[in-house]
Amino acid sequence: MDDHAHLDHVHPDHAHLHGSYWLDTAPPGTLLPPPEGPLTVDVAVIGAGIAGLSTAWELARRGRSVAVLEADRIAAGVTGHTTAKVSALHTLIYDRLRRTRGPEAAALYARSQAEAVRHIAETADALGVDCDWEETAAYTYAEDVSRTDALKAEAEAAREAGLPAAYVTDTDLPFPVAGAVRVTGQAQFHPRKYLLALADGIRRLGGTIHEQTRVTGLTEGDPCMLTTRSPASATEVGARSVVVATHYPVFDRALLFSRLSPRRELVVAAPLDAIGAPLGMYITQEQNTRSVRTAPMDDGRRLLIVTGEHFTPGSGGDVEERFARLCAWATDRFGDLTFTHRWATQDNDSTDSVPLVGPLHPGSRHAYVATGFGGWGMSGGVMAGRLLAEQITGGTSPWDDLYDPRRLASVVREGAAFLKQQADVARHFVGDRLPSLTEPSVETLAPGDGAVLRVGGERRAVHRDEDGQLHALSARCTHLGCLVAFNRAERAWECPCHGSRFDVRGAVVQGPAVDPLEPRDL
């Protein structure tokens, strides 16, 4: 099929499209205010996505006093922009684990993820929340016959690891595939509806949740001390234990950023007639990743959700063109579509494809981290919450070692991925400081566009708004100083080194940066 055949006809009027469907259909509700003054709790959890709220829920159920500190709104960040597949089938992970860490590690991974899938279902039932939970099968597929050997190996490895996996050639997609790995008993849901109910459950158990509360400092000790910043004030939070669940760690005492690579993917959505709409969840690594699922709509139709076109933040080129390619692919395979939503999601891949969940660094006694879910944060975040709750309350888990951020053996085995990540970051650190032969000028900036320009010997991030006004900021990411780049489609400045993102006024949209880009004069 020609993914570009209809490119000119599927470029919707993006100005009239909604953003994330999950945010659009589950409003945020009343703001949960920042702490009014110094606060002391058993556990402070930084981040109110699925990993943070799952951790807080498990700890509150064990009788611990918990405070969740969220820089924005509950489930409005990465979790609010996911595709919300709840699955233990993670593309081609099991054959890789079997080869790199052995069959036992693959079995532990499968068990931990499968238990997380069941745990979400049980928790949703206990909370009495209607979160559009649908049990279905998950598929990793390929259209290219040359990839079927890898799929057969994955099906065998996943089956050996304990999953109900099979190699198949038939699916409920409206186009043929060469082959697929199928795992039954998986699920899809509305993540924001689930997490808003989970947040209410945490509060009923005595926990507190504070939105618009950005954590800017961590001093480890007994207790640990956090410094926070909110629109109106700043305060401190003392906690026996701290969990950093900010997707990309805002505190990196173990240099985890050297083992994480950020990846951004685009999402488009359009209604389908329920009759004939696929009910399975699908993903392929072909065509720069294509992920497909549908969700139930109030009017009886189903919403087709297509994800793909992954790229490193700040290195995506023409992101509008990427959106158009994704729309063209969906139209080629599903017929005429009227796109209603588009958004983007961001993930972090670890160098060995296994999340980093456990103590924050080798010397840590009271600080923990959950990161590196590689696009599978729904099951991974719940797994992390259960694992960290066990560790914080003095228990152990069969998969402590599998996910331990301090593991070194797997880093050695995955040396090529580790070195590639460091080379990419080093390229930006060095290349950003060299003069460019083709730098744009202020005069060339169209309304809505932005670019990094050299002004008076300094690099500045300059954006021209739709009214023609210019806005200049420091072009150095406040995390570690890499040069940001402009994403016109999302109107954001992005750091290609570690994935920090800023709005056109410089405010932090996504970490690990915690400080804004400073304004500059032109």
**According to the model, what pLDDT value does residue 285 have?**
95
Token duo for residue 401: 């070692």
pLDDT of 164 strictly over 80: yes
> Mind listing the pLDDT tens digit for each residue in 373-431?
999 999 999 999 999 999 999 999 999 999 999 997 655 555 555 555 455 555 554 54
pTM above 0.75, yes or no: yes
Residues contacting 262, CB < 8 A, separation 6+? 248, 312, 313, 346, 347, 348, 498, 499
What percent of the chain lies above the pLDDT cut of 70? 91
Residue 218: inside a domain, yes or no?
no
**According to the model, what pLDDT value does residue 521 have?**
84
Read off the pLDDT band of 1 (50, 70, 90): very low
Residue 501: inside a domain, yes or no?
yes
Mean pLDDT of 39-50: 97
CA distance 498 to 425: 8
Mean pLDDT of the chain: 90
Residue showing tokens 């709840």: 86
**According to the model, what pLDDT value does residue 412 have?**
57
Residue showing tokens 């739709």: 466
Per the document, the length of the chain is 522
The range of the structural domain enclosing residue 505 comes to 442-510
**According to the model, what pLDDT value does residue 501 have?**
93
Mean pLDDT of 190-216: 97
Residue 405: inside a domain, yes or no?
no
**According to the model, what pLDDT value does residue 347 have?**
93
**According to the model, what pLDDT value does residue 320 have?**
94
pLDDT of 323 strictly over 60: yes
Residue 335: inside a domain, yes or no?
no
**According to the model, what pLDDT value does residue 410 have?**
56
CA distance 365 to 242: 10
Q: Write the CA distances from 228 to 201, 207, 231, 240, integer angstroms.
A: 24, 18, 10, 17
**According to the model, what pLDDT value does residue 15 have?**
55
* Helix axes of 191-204 and 50-61: crossing angle, nearest 10 degrees: 30
Residue 491: inside a domain, yes or no?
yes
How many beta carbons lie within 10 A of that of residue 522, not counting itself? 11
Residue 474: inside a domain, yes or no?
yes
Residue 186 · residue 173 · CB < 8 Å: no
**According to the model, what pLDDT value does residue 467 have?**
86
**According to the model, what pLDDT value does residue 110 have?**
98
Out of 75-89, 287-301, 302-316, 423-437, pick the least confident: 423-437
Out of 116-120, 324-328, 434-438, 459-463, pick the least confident: 434-438
Out of 186-190, 341-345, 419-423, 511-515, pick the least confident: 419-423
**According to the model, what pLDDT value does residue 147 have?**
97
Residue 178: inside a domain, yes or no?
no
**According to the model, what pLDDT value does residue 522 have?**
78
Question: Number of folded domains in the chain?
Answer: 1
For residues 203 and 410, the model is more confident at 203
For 490-494, the CB contacts below 8 A with 24+ separation are: 490/319, 490/344, 491/448, 491/463, 493/450, 493/461, 493/517, 494/264, 494/313, 494/314, 494/316
Residue 147: inside a domain, yes or no?
no
Mean pLDDT of 32-52: 96
Mean pLDDT of 201-229: 96
Token duo for residue 183: 């795992």
E strand or H helix at 402:
helix 400-403
Out of 161-165, 307-311, 513-517, pick the least confident: 513-517
pLDDT of 438 strictly over 90: no
Mean pLDDT of 491-514: 91
Q: Write the CA distances from 460 to 124, 190, 451, 501, integer angstroms.
A: 48, 40, 8, 16
CB-based burial of residue 467 (10 Å sphere; 0-12 exposed, 13-18 middle, 19+ buried)?
exposed
Read off the pLDDT band of 32 (50, 70, 90): very high
Read off the pLDDT band of 446 (50, 70, 90): confident
Q: What is the CATH number of the domain that holds 497?
A: 2.102.10.10
**According to the model, what pLDDT value does residue 2 have?**
41
